[in-house]
């Protein structure tokens, strides 16, 4: 990721939500109606989103990292890599005000059926999974073609991988992989997808 940023293959801008708050001490949350927990308030989040729209002179897709969103898949990351710019909302506390979702959010994205303390971790996972599909982020673009969940492998998990030495702790590399018979090797790989 650092090399890709250094090569200007992608860039990130971070915004502190407190900078868009008009409350004392830059508070950005309030008690949820009918609940006992805090929720991000709509005003500072709306101001932040509108600020970004103004900076880039365009309304771009807004994604919200949320456990109730659609589960992120390899196929989805490939599609998201085609998006030039987007806003990622990292929720904190319990949630964000539903009105922000209704007004601004184009897609809620989940990285799994579990809860994290904040959306920054989920956003990092999303960014990493998407950025690797940008041309030349990975040294060899062909490395994306044959990996777990790739289109070439039918969205299945990758076959086992081996390297030198040929024998390690009484475990040997399958003979077929060292045979030089490319057709047989391809069949072995296909047979060992999971």
pLDDT of residue 46: 97
The tokens for 181 are 């018979």
Domain count, the chain: 2
Q: Model confidence over 37-54: pLDDT tens digits?
A: 888 899 999 999 999 999
pLDDT higher than 90, residue 131: yes
Query: What percentage of residues in the chain have a pLDDT greater than 70?
Result: 99
The residue range of the domain holding 154 is 141-191
Residue 94's pLDDT band, with cuts at 50, 70 and 90, is: low
How would you classify the pairing of strands 38-40 and 29-31?
antiparallel
pLDDT of residue 47: 97
**Same domain as 145, residue 62:** no
Instruction: Return d(Cα 101, Cα 99) in angstroms, integer.
Output: 5
Tell me, what CATH number does 34's domain have?
Answer: 3.40.1280.10
**Same domain as 105, residue 43:** yes
The helix (run of H) or strand (run of E) holding residue 4 is: helix 2-6
For residue 171, which phi and psi values (nearest 5 degrees)? -105, 125
**Is the pTM above the cut of 0.75?**
yes
**Same domain as 88, residue 61:** yes
pLDDT of residue 139: 79
Q: Does residue 8 fall inside a structural domain? A: yes
pLDDT higher than 70, residue 96: yes
**Same domain as 103, residue 156:** no
**Same domain as 127, residue 154:** no
pLDDT higher than 90, residue 93: no
Q: Does residue 136 fall inside a structural domain? A: no
Mean pLDDT across 133-159: 88
Instruction: Return d(Cα 86, Cα 23) in angstroms, integer.
Output: 27
Query: Of 42, 96, 79, 84, whose CA–CA distance to 60 is shortest?
Result: 84
pLDDT of residue 142: 79
**Same domain as 120, residue 147:** no
Q: Model confidence over 1-50: pLDDT tens digits?
A: 888 899 999 999 999 999 999 988 888 988 889 988 888 899 999 999 99
Q: Does residue 31 fall inside a structural domain? A: yes
pLDDT higher than 80, residue 141: no
**Same domain as 54, residue 113:** yes
Contact indicator for 164, 114 with CB cutoff of 8 Å: no
């Amino acid at each position: 990721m650092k090399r890709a940023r250094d090569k200007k293959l992608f860039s990130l801008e971070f915004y502190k939500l407190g900078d868009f708050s008009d409350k004392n001490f830059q508070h950005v949350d309030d008690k949820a109606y009918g609940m006992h927990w805090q929720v991000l308030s709509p005003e500072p989040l709306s101001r932040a989103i509108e600020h970004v729209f103004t900076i880039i002179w365009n309304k771009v897709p807004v994604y919200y990292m949320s456990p109730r969103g659609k589960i992120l898949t390899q196929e989805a990351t490939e599609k998201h890599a085609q998006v030039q710019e987007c806003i990622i909302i990292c929720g904190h506390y319990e949630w964000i005000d539903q009105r922000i979702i209704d007004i601004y959010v184009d897609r809620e994205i989940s990285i799994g059926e579990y809860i994290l303390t904040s959306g920054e971790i989920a956003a990092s996972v999303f960014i990493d999974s998407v950025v690797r599909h940008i041309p030349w982020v990975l040294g060899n673009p062909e490395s994306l073609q044959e990996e777990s969940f790739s289109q070439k492998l039918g969205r299945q998990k990758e076959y086992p991988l081996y390297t030198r030495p040929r024998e390690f702790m009484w475990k040997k590399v399958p003979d077929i992989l060292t045979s030089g018979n490319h057709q047989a090797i391809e069949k072995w790989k296909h047979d060992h997808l999971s």
